[in-house]
Amino acid sequence: MLTSVFAFLVAVGLLVFIHELGHYLAARSVGVHVQRFSIGFGRPLITRRDKNGCDWVVALVPLGGYVQMTENEDSSRSFDRKPLWARAWVVVAGPLANFVFAVVAFTCLAIVGRPEPVAIFDQPGEQSVAQRLGLQKGATLLALSGDPVRSYSDFRWKMTQSYIGQGQSRFDLLVRSANGSERTITLDFEALQPLAQDASIDDILLKAGIRPQSNGVLVTSVLSGSPAEQAGLQIGDQFLSVSSIPVTEPQDLQRFVASSRGQAVDLVVRRQASGQQERLVIQPQAAPDGLGYRLGVGIGPSLQTQWVQYGPIQGIERGIQRTAELSVLSLRALGRMVTGDLSWRQMSGPVGIAGAAGQSAELGFIAFVSFLALISISIGVLNLLPIPMLDGGHLMYYAFEFVRGQPLSAQAQQAGQRLGLVLIALLTSLALVNDMSRLFGF
């Protein structure tokens, strides 16, 4: 919990600073005086005035920020006295800074490299779509709908783009079996209906019986005060056996613990820190809902990985491409929500973002930087929407001014601001409702 809160505050603070820094630098570049640069709202906690007369502030409520510029003054340094192009540049520079950060982050990650799971499938579940299609354990995915696949992560990303962004539900998978023969199988999501409205691509693939091959079971999280924490289990430890029976799938361990009836479980684990094997005896506790027993750990498969790395030029291209793809995907997803083709339950709010921030932070620096880049793109896209009170709303006003030859009346702008406030409140409320429904399971 504390990790999620801290990671969330770091993420919000950094990305808001980058966004507002874009506005600040653009304002300075066209000679606009900035009176205040604030991270957060409400009562100032820290204030420092620079030599240019700008107050740099960290405020009490850390959910956002703003740059306050001189306006409504008969001065060349007043924002409203600047020509239309200069005002538009100052407004668009905030979202642009978020996109630039994402490009730099993805570029650095591509050049440094990262381990990615190989695209080898595990044994499909009984009576699953994948089993009926004849998919077998050890089959390697070569291409998705004619597009070569580099890793399982690449496969998930291509599926997300097609399903979430374009509404595609039918996919051709070129696979090579363990004996070397190649064939194409067609996966149709229509055969999986009904699907939960907020189902992720991983949820859908798992329901279809498709998952990466697991070579073991890893600890991904440890609940405070749980039997697992008391036994000293840590994130990254690997389960090797339970009661002398080898475990290679998370489901193996889950079934055994669930059937233990609260009796002590004899486990052998390999410690991530030392690499040494250790025998532990842990007594499961009853789950809060009274259904089954648990150790108090999150678990996931131990996957075979390959190191994916790019050269400097390819890395830059990769950074630009990934930022562009995510931006387009965000816009397409929003468009499909508006038309009703995609459920609004896919939207996440601050609670969901905080949870994702904590999980990525626990997975390491690379995962957290990837998360920051993703949220930075979301902030950039959201702020460019033509909603009054957002940067895109100001750009919409400037477009009207360009066409009409004069600004909109103060009354029209105030009406737009009120409408924008209502829309933002509705979107925020919807995101919070989605967060609560995921958190409490309703």
Exactly one of 20, 126, 317, 325 is catalytic; name it: 20
302/111 Cα distance (integer angstroms): 25
| Cβ proximity of 380 and 327 under 8 Å | yes
| Cβ proximity of 382 and 15 under 8 Å | no
205/430 Cα distance (integer angstroms): 26
Contacts of 161 (CB under 8 A, 6+ apart): 325, 329
| DSSP 8-class letter at 169 | -
Residues in a beta bridge with 141? 175
Residues in a beta bridge with 277? 270
| Cβ proximity of 247 and 241 under 8 Å | yes
307/115 Cα distance (integer angstroms): 4
Which residue's entry shows tokens 């002398």? 244
Instruction: For the chain, give percent helix, strand, coil, nearest 5.
Output: 50, 25, 30
- Say whether 73 is catalytic: no
Element (H, E) at 170: strand 170-176
E-assigned strand segments in 223-291: 238-242, 245-246, 265-270, 277-282, 285-286
3-state class of 54 per DSSP? coil
Peptide bond into 124 cis (omega under 30): no
Tokens of 300: 């996931």
Alpha-carbon Rg for the chain in angstroms: 26
CA dihedral 52, 57, 63, 69 (to 10 degrees): -30
Active site members: 20
